[in-house]
Structure 1
Amino acid sequence: MAAYGLTGEFLNLGGEPSDHRVVAAMSGGVDSSVVAAVLHRAGYQVVGMTLQLYDHGEAVHRKGACCAGQDIHDARRVAEAMGFAHYVLDYETRFREAVIEDFADTYLAGFTPIPCVRCNQSVKFADLLATSKQLGADCLVTGHYIQRTMNGNRPELRRAADAGKDQSYFLFATTEEQLDYLRFPLGHLNKDQTRELAAALGLIVAAKPDSQDICFVPDGDYASVVEKVRPGASRPGEIVHLDGRVMGQHEGVLRYTVGQRRGLGIATGEPLYVVRLDAEAAQVIVGPREALQVRKITLTDVNWIGDGDLSEADGLTVGIKVRSTRPPKPAVLEVGEDSVFVLLDAGEEGVAPGQACVFYSHPDHDRVLGGGWIRATG
């Protein structure tokens, strides 16, 4: 463990590890299991917590999803084998209201949601964090690949050392208050090193595959989940070209996302992409690829964890990511009284309302400065 920098002092809590109680959020996967096991081995008073987020019976046979029945079982077995306490908290109702229903309503409104961010905002870094404090824990630790560093007495959020596993896009909504209490021990490691630690500790999940899908979306079929949550809410309508031509019919805007090319169900002599969704008119607007280029993005619910107040960031050049898999691109923040805008140096394709726009320090793109939800593009 020491070879990877995971010694008894790596949480920066002061004193001896045995003086500190820490809550470890355990999904049942290899990352969170390694965090909990290493902390326990280092001498901390570890309390493992696993959230049951949706129907246990339906989840047991799901593969590639966190917090399902098998995952709860795996987390419990890791805790038992290592010898630390473990609890399962029933958050089904809270998760359904804050994440699943929001997911369905966002799709029906013609936006593209990111439920993993909503889960962090409303459940993991809110309810679970509050529960950890009630238990007298000194911090809440997770298996996320992101780094928390100190600048004097102030914590800062930075991208993971392993760019391929970096999860900063999904953690942009972490507030300063939450960051004071959170710890991310794996941020300086890569996945191979994490698995080596799991094997060295003898964890049963050492070779367990990573989660791939959104935990409550079987096989990536978003539409079926939305229709189950909001039966009858989806309306059929027209697929319309930017020039006004009606190209065909669709069964609901929730089945489309901005930037989509395949599966439009229309035959033309030119490649067409989904440019915009108009849920009110039940229209899917399509056009050529160049119509996807966006230079201005309007944001809402912006979280700022950079230096000073958000108002002081007006005119600041940052790197932004509008999709988790894309590298940051240069842009300028424009902070108004009621809105925040992002002005891109060069156009970006497939910017979908409902997704996140995450800010990074420029030009190194290392520090996470916050971000907001994309409300509109122009």
Structure 2
Amino acid sequence: MSKIAVAMSGGVDSSVVFRMLYEEGHEVFGITMRHLPEELVRDRIGSCCAPRAVRAASRLAASLNRPHYLFDLSEEFAATVMRWTAEAYRSGVTPNPCVLCNEGIKFGLLFQRARALGAEFLATGHYARVHNGRLFAARDRMRDQSYFLYRVPRSVLSATFFPLGEVGKDEVRRMAEEWDLEMKDAPDSTDVCFAPEGDFSYIFERFAPEAIESGPIVDEATRLLGRHRGFGRVTIGQRRGLGIPASERLYVRAIRPETKTVVLGGRPVASRMLVENLIWHQKMPERFEAVVKIRSRHPGRAVSIERIGDRCHVTFPAPEPNVTPGQSAVFYEGDCVLGGGIICQGEV
């Protein structure tokens, strides 16, 4: 049996993982990171690593006579994930902070802490699978989180367990009920942890205040349509919540940070896109075909890829709507994650 550190947020998923591995006879211990300021997590039951959830994780470990360690990574998280997210919005793109957090914090700093405590493996409550250091989508496609994990290097994946990759959420809830876990009825955490209900005001106020300053909303002919409450609050392809009455559907076509201008028009589509900052989990040819997901809930599209240095051009079989700069493009062969990168721009 192995010595395994379980990353415990205090939610139902990581709690079930802890108990599963304990029942299998592994030498488990819990590790939790404190990464958010108190005002963002106070009284938020479903929030990642909220005070109540952290206490529940500690009590679960204690009930099984297993250690539980709490690490304060708030400074590192603010300096990297929160600042980077705010600066990305300020530049007019729409980032995915969970991807960066997984790469640098959870499977970076927290993984290192686990190793320093003698862990052979790190286990988490993510819905994904690992085989021989290769990342695969979860069996439960509705819960699959492999999209958010594509930047975790193979060296770390080789020392990682995702026990929930083979089961569904209903089974997780059933096990939590059977073991009478304290957080068995806790709601799923769906928001970005530092943006409750999709509100990024906290990081904008601290790192990019100009992103929430009012500015003009114009059409593609530069006619003034109204004013927005901050260009950081909108994304390419957004239609709802713009506050502009119109006889036809209007979408965000462009964001121009230098003038704080948001441009509306018809639904944006792209026949090709440029992807940069690539990471691959195996050696790839210069030209190949794969399935790409451009959002976590994107159904995936069969595409042609041409690698050019540390970038690649991706060609869609038909014009693809809402190709959003700053989001990740993750490439799959069947269930296997080949790699991915950051969308730089869509091309008509």
Which bracket does the TM-score occupy, shorter chain normalised? Answer: over 0.9
What CA RMSD, in Å, does the superposition of the two structures yield over aligned residues? 1.6
Residues 211 and 233 of structure 1, relative CA distance in 2, 3 Å threshold: closer
The answer (yes or no) to whether the contact 2:40–2:194 under 8 Å persists in 1 is no
Residues 82 and 56 of structure 1, relative CA distance in 2, 3 Å threshold: farther
CA distance in 2 between partners of 1:277 and 1:287 (Å):
12
CA distance in 1 between partners of 2:179 and 2:65 (Å):
12
Q: Map Cα deviations across residues 235-281 of structure 1 (whole Å, 9 max, x no partner).
A: 43322222333322223210211111122232332211001212123
Residues 84 and 338 of structure 1, relative CA distance in 2, 3 Å threshold: closer
TM-score (norm 2): 0.95
Determine the structure 2 residue equivalent to 1:96: 78
Structure 2 residues not aligned, in runs of 5+? none
Shift of residue 339 of structure 1? Answer: 2.0
Determine the structure 2 residue equivalent to 1:304: 280
Letter of the aligned partner of 1:367 in structure 2? Answer: C
Letter of the aligned partner of 1:329 in structure 2? Answer: R
Determine the structure 1 residue equivalent to 2:189: 211
CA distance in 1 between partners of 2:45 and 2:86 (Å):
22
1:265 aligns with 2:250: no
1:349 aligns with 2:325: no
CA distance in 2 between partners of 1:23 and 1:374 (Å):
34
Q: Map Cα deviations across residues 168-195 of structure 1 (whole Å, 9 max, x no partner).
A: 1111112111111111111010011112
Determine the structure 2 residue equivalent to 1:9: none
1:375 aligns with 2:344: yes
The answer (yes or no) to whether the contact 1:57–1:69 under 8 Å persists in 2 is no
Q: Map Cα deviations across residues 193-231 of structure 1 (whole Å, 9 max, x no partner).
A: 112222222311222211121111122212454124434
The answer (yes or no) to whether the contact 1:353–1:376 under 8 Å persists in 2 is yes
CA distance in 1 between partners of 2:256 and 2:277 (Å):
22
Comparing 224-233 with 168-177, greater Cα deviation is found at 224-233
The answer (yes or no) to whether the contact 1:223–1:254 under 8 Å persists in 2 is no
Query: Could you say what secondary structure the match of 2:176 adopts?
Result: helix
Determine the structure 2 residue equivalent to 1:358: 330
CA distance in 2 between partners of 1:37 and 1:162 (Å):
20
Query: Could you say what secondary structure the match of 1:147 adopts?
Result: strand
The answer (yes or no) to whether the contact 1:53–1:92 under 8 Å persists in 2 is yes
Which of 167, 172, 180 aligns to 1:194? It is 172
Which of 290, 296, 300 aligns to 1:328? It is 300
CA distance in 2 between partners of 1:268 and 1:262 (Å):
12
Query: Could you say what secondary structure the match of 1:316 adopts?
Result: strand
TM-score (norm 1): 0.87
Provide the identity percentage. Answer: 37
How many pairs does the alignment contain? 347
Determine the structure 1 residue equivalent to 2:114: 132
CA distance in 2 between partners of 1:44 and 1:215 (Å):
30
Determine the structure 1 residue equivalent to 2:217: 239
Letter of the aligned partner of 2:163 in structure 1? Answer: P
CA distance in 2 between partners of 1:159 and 1:33 (Å):
21
Determine the structure 2 residue equivalent to 1:36: 18
Determine the structure 2 residue equivalent to 1:274: 252
Determine the structure 1 residue equivalent to 2:60: 78
Shift of residue 57 of structure 1? Answer: 5.6
Letter of the aligned partner of 2:344 in structure 1? Answer: R
Structure 1 residues not aligned, in runs of 5+? 1-16
Determine the structure 1 residue equivalent to 2:312: 340
CA distance in 1 between partners of 2:35 and 2:121 (Å):
22
Residues 338 and 43 of structure 1, relative CA distance in 2, 3 Å threshold: closer
